[in-house]
Amino acid sequence: MKSGRESFTIPQGFSPDPNVKEKIEEFLKVFQTFEEKNGVKLLIMFDKRSEAYYINCHLDSKVLVSKTDLDTVLDPTESEDYKLNRGIYIDTYAYRLMKDDALKGRSFEDLVMEYDTSYRSDMPLKVFGGQHRIMAIKEATKKNVLVVHGVRVYFGLSIEQKVNIAMANNTSIAVSNDLLDRMQEDLLGTELRNWSQTIKLLSEGQNFADKRSPEGIPTVRIARTLLVNFYHGKDSKEDDFHLPIVCISGPGIDEHYKNLRDKIDWSDNALQTMGRKFAQLHKLQRGRVLSRDTHKYLEFANKAMHPCVAASWAYTVGFLLRKPRALENHYALGDLAPPGDPLTATALSNARLKGVDPDTYRGLGARINNVELGRMLEVFLLQAIKAKQRGITQKLANVAIKSYEAKRTKRDAERALKGI
């Protein structure tokens, strides 16, 4: 067999460092590419955006099935448990079509991976793009359908390069913004995930969901929204027109969270208490809704995880830090005795302002806009400060809408008067 160096060419102007060249040589000694079998030299290519070197080559089905690792992680020195890519979803039409193509001998191209033996060395091809295609290839090999497939193999990637390449390959296909958020957060560090595990919003060893989860697993967006609104409410003034914020999701990092993150004291007792109480509320809400016989809807069970509800709830905590008794009332929602769900999702769903809200209005905490954020906040504030009886009721929800609309009208009038 040829030595690695005799099997590839480095184009003029390219200068991969010795570590990269060593890994390429090692890869070509371990894997016999289709090109090499046919006497064709491989070109070393350079991805200028990520400043990483790679080769394009072809490997046969059996090699890909046995040597690819679909659970690629960002930093194996920290943990091998937190995968970088999205989950595998095989119950979709797109995957079934992909599987059918593989069974008919489709040769897939541009499967993106890194050659990395630092963890799970028996599967050194760490996949960044093409997880579903590789699953389809695996199914085809069971039927003895064996073809070659095109791969792009990177070498010697840093953590920043891994994230950049993974994001590029996941944004070129239909993928959730929540996965992009998770990738961005992994690059920032482990603090948000560690905090979420500490407060029991995530289980030990669990990562954020890569899309909205029926199981109620939080996304990065929800965790960021909790933090931003806790501090937003804490820093607000008594006579402000209070309005929570929902962090944006997808490419780029929400500016509110970006400006806040380095200032967060993750061990702050008030912050930790807020997190634990929210996790407790979410757990109780799910348990009560899913255990009853009627109105057993996932939308109701995961009500606390709606961005509008989470933002308003956390803002209320921050604002009520100056009112300890009212804060106790707010936290008590997560301690309510049976039988009702603490957020009384049915009452929120039925709440509306007659003559203002259209017939298509879905009730409180169902949409994300400033009006809904303001209304939902008013529910929590009235429950904690004004209501004589603890808990959210239909009457309280309707009064909260009226109260918010009155405040909004007053604010708009004051703005108009300033323009005279």
Q: Tens digits of per-residue pLDDT, 96-125?
A: 888 899 999 999 998 999 999 999 999 999
pLDDT for res 1? 38
pLDDT for res 103? 94
Instruction: Classify residue 288 by its DSSP letter.
Output: H
What is d(CA 70, CA 376) in angstroms, rounded to the nearest whole number? 41
pLDDT for res 250? 82
Residue type, 99: K
Contacts of 100 (CB under 8 A, 6+ apart): none
pLDDT for res 165? 87
Beta pairing class for 125-129 and 68-69: parallel
Question: What parts of the chain have a pLDDT lower than 50?
Answer: 1-3, 172-173
What is d(CA 347, CA 135) in angstroms, rounded to the nearest whole number? 45
* Edge-to-edge order in the sheet of strand 111-115: 8-9, 42-47, 52-60, 148-155, 111-115, 125-129, 68-69
Per the listing, tokens 């090692």 go with 26
Structural contact between residues 156 and 20, judged by C-beta atoms closer than 8 angstroms: yes
What is d(CA 339, CA 411) in angstroms, rounded to the nearest whole number? 39
Residue length, the chain? 420
Residue type, 243: L
Per the listing, tokens 């560690």 go with 194
pLDDT for res 172? 47
